[in-house]
Structure 1
């Protein structure tokens, strides 16, 4: 689709609807103190997930399907109850040694490639050679030839990667199937984005529960759709103590413009919570994670997230973290000339950031100093 989608599909009053979004729960409009704002904003965000009351307390009942040593860590395939509706398999990398170790939940991207999911984050090691070939090609195209999970495990982190519904072992979807899947879930009183968020919350809880993991040092990392899921998870889950989000942050008005991917539908449904935008802008939701350590990286030449929207979002994020005396815990980067990719330079910067804020001296379980009263 091209910029003509606005004329072909959207109503003439689309721009007026967009401008009428005032985000009444945004931090800069909220008259109360920060804890009260965060509690109310998080409650609104959680309600928008459209999940049944009481999910998330089921036992994980994990089973190790296979494992083998891989250099400085052991690679396992694990199966566990991802929700009350079913079980899923994950790739789990555990460093050798006594532990407990810091940990990272690596959330895979979208990219329209559904045959692989967790294999985008962790190098596939056995079976299904076609998936292996696709994973290697995907790593070359978007990750500088690296697998983020394996890089982090070699640095001493426990790593978990799980297929999202529709990918890998839980798919594969065809691109045009996304809208039908989303529509059917809405008919059933839930949403695709909400189910995905709930499963990410469960995956983080599972990771934090492992005996090899220091539950006070669990982070989320993701690129593209995985970046969205990383900051969203930090906002929604107390199990996640820090998040590194790559190539997914903007303000809503900067995103709802002709030519943007969001207007196509399809992939947007994995990140579209019904009614949430009536209350909060995108960086408002992300800001409910404050004062947790947070890293946001963007490419200066990313056509999906142009610099104007990124800069506006960063400004809103900065105001919240600094209001809590935690400005040093927020790192925002725009990489000149970089497109929609998570190359080696950005990765090295992100891994160093994780070493500082999750594994090292500035780690997330340490107090960050006085929080100003409001």
Structure 2
């Protein structure tokens, strides 16, 4: 009997462990099919797996604007706010000219083993030529040469991007140090994935709190790890009204096979909640967002996710949305000729979808005056 490990650093008995996962809290196993009750119970299980102790009271954002500049149809600002009770973080905030209130999108950056830039993967950096060069190269490689945050702002959306712990201004983390970070956070009673989820909820709430933003029209968008974060955020936050996830959805069992990228370990820590899958499959968690609008796009040539895993997940998602009479609010698409990328064509599809579900933005006829450093947005200037 082989009690050791097999290819992909899996235990030789991994198939038995995998078969024991029955996801007893999944919607399909719900006896009463009482959706609000199921969601409340499942959310409680997810919340416990995040390992985020409850705050003693309301946590103020205490925002300041660090710098601002005119960017044509919108103002580009660097803002600083309390991302959690543990510390502050900087974000890239794009705000259309005019009075608003505007629909808004939290753009969530990918992993990609590129830590020197984070929010700059989705929002063009303006004050650092070196970061701009790296971000432009990243956009060319993964985003069809576009900065999706800037594209949305030009369409009339308020946009916010924030670094995850380890990226950009909150790093940079070295690839081989991800395991040490995860181990240390676990020793301290939390996890990278749980902390990131909590911070994403806070970032979305901060965006919704801005006076120029219509809190009824806040969405989330991400590619790759950002996609995981986008659907997870919609599942856990009632304040996020719609989410678009590009290139991250699968069934767990179909993902846990030799050779899968997740089995390499390191980057998985940012998408791994200890013990959660004893109760829920990956699409079960995403289904907590139902019946809100949700868009899932996959690449048929994406080497990170098997076709079987994507189809299994899509089937589970469709069953939940359809059970709530909201099948028209769920879009699940596979682009057969696309790999692991957020192409310009996919972006155009996402932008049209966001216009539909967050409401077509009202464009102002003329932009306001150019912003000056430290100005704008109802935020006090940095001291």
- Offset of 1:261 from its aligned partner? 1.1
- Structure having greater relative contact order (Cα 8 Å, sep ≥ 6): 2
Separation in 1 of the partners of 2:179 and 2:280? 24
Separation in 1 of the partners of 2:282 and 2:58? 28
- Offset of 1:56 from its aligned partner? 7.7
Preserved CA contact (<8 Å) 2:287 2:320 = yes
Say yes or no: does 1:69 pair with 2:70: yes
| Equivalent residue number for residue 221 of structure 1 | 221
Say yes or no: does 1:299 pair with 2:299: yes
| Equivalent residue number for residue 184 of structure 1 | 184
User: In 2 relative to 1, CA 110–360 (structure 1 residues): closer, same or farther, beyond 3 Å?
Assistant: same
Which runs of 5 or more residues in structure 2 are unaligned? 362-383
Preserved CA contact (<8 Å) 1:56 1:83 = no
Separation in 2 of the partners of 1:217 and 1:332? 22
- Offset of 1:9 from its aligned partner? 2.9
- Offset of 1:53 from its aligned partner? 1.9
- The TM-score, its normalising length taken from structure 1, stands at 0.94
What SS class does the counterpart of residue 176 from structure 1 fall into?
A: helix
| Equivalent residue number for residue 381 of structure 2 | none
What SS class does the counterpart of residue 50 from structure 2 fall into?
A: coil
User: In 2 relative to 1, CA 223–55 (structure 1 residues): closer, same or farther, beyond 3 Å?
Assistant: farther
Which residues in structure 2 correspond to 1:160-175 (within 5 Å)?
Answer: 160-175=160-175
User: In 2 relative to 1, CA 189–309 (structure 1 residues): closer, same or farther, beyond 3 Å?
Assistant: same
Separation in 1 of the partners of 2:8 and 2:278? 25
Deviations 1:17-55 (A, max 9, x none): 011100000101011211110110111111100011226
Say yes or no: does 1:347 pair with 2:347: yes
- Offset of 1:8 from its aligned partner? 6.6
| Equivalent residue number for residue 154 of structure 2 | 154
Preserved CA contact (<8 Å) 1:81 1:88 = yes
Which residues in structure 2 correspond to 1:1-374 (within 5 Å)?
Answer: 6-7=6-7, 9-32=9-32, 33-54=34-55, 57-127=58-128, 129-360=129-360
Preserved CA contact (<8 Å) 1:55 1:84 = no
RMSD value, Cα = 1.3
Separation in 2 of the partners of 1:9 and 1:224? 23
Separation in 1 of the partners of 2:120 and 2:56? 28
Separation in 2 of the partners of 1:360 and 1:72? 16
User: In 2 relative to 1, CA 77–8 (structure 1 residues): closer, same or farther, beyond 3 Å?
Assistant: closer
Separation in 1 of the partners of 2:238 and 2:11? 40
Separation in 2 of the partners of 1:57 and 1:248? 33
- Offset of 1:13 from its aligned partner? 1.2
Preserved CA contact (<8 Å) 1:160 1:207 = yes
Separation in 1 of the partners of 2:14 and 2:298? 28
User: In 2 relative to 1, CA 270–55 (structure 1 residues): closer, same or farther, beyond 3 Å?
Assistant: farther
Which runs of 5 or more residues in structure 1 are unaligned? 362-374
Separation in 1 of the partners of 2:102 and 2:69? 19
- The TM-score, its normalising length taken from structure 2, stands at 0.91
